[in-house]
Amino acid sequence: MRRKLVVGNWKMNGSRLANAELLAALTAAGPWSCDVAVCAPFPYLADVALSLQGGRMTWGAQDCSSHEAGAYTGEVAAAMLAEFGCRYVIVGHSERRAYHAESDQLVADKAKIALAHGLTPIVCVGETLAEREGGHTDIVVKRQMSAVIHTLGHCISQVVVAYEPVWAIGTGKTATPEQAQAVHALLRTQLHAATPKVEEMQILYGGSVKADNAASLFSQPDIDGGLIGGASLKAADFAAICRAAA
User: Domain of 47?
Assistant: 5-245
Q: Is 117 helix (H, G, I), strand (E, B) or coil?
A: coil
Yes or no: say if 204 and 187 are a contact pair by the CB < 8 Å rule: no
Domain count of the chain?
1
Predicted TM-score of the model (pTM): 0.96
pLDDT of residue 167: 85
- Which residue out of 83, 93, 136, 192 is catalytically annotated? 93
Spell out, as residue ranges, where the chain has pLDDT lower than 50.
none
pLDDT at 125 (0 to 100): 98
Would residue 164 show up in a list of annotated catalytic residues for this protein? yes
Residue-level pLDDT at 139: 97
Catalytic entry in 95, 131, 164, 184: 164
State residue 187's pLDDT score: 98
3-state SS assignment for residue 77: coil
Task: Look at residue 32 in the predicted model and tell me its pLDDT.
Answer: 95
Give me the CATH number covering residue 232. 3.20.20.70
Check if the beta carbon of residue 95 is closer than 8 Å to that of residue 177: no
- The rounded distance, in Å, linking the Cα atoms of 218 and 112 is 28
Q: Tens digits of per-residue pLDDT, 32-53? A: 999 999 999 999 999 999 999 9
- Provide the phi-psi class of 70: left if phi over 0, else alpha when psi is between -120 and 50, else beta: left
Residue 139 near residue 84 (C-beta atoms within 8 A)? no
**What pLDDT, on a 0 to 100 scale, did the predictor assign at position 5?**
98
Q: Are 75 and 106 in contact (CB under 8 A)?
A: no
Contact (Cβ atoms closer than 8 angstroms) between residue 7 and residue 201: no
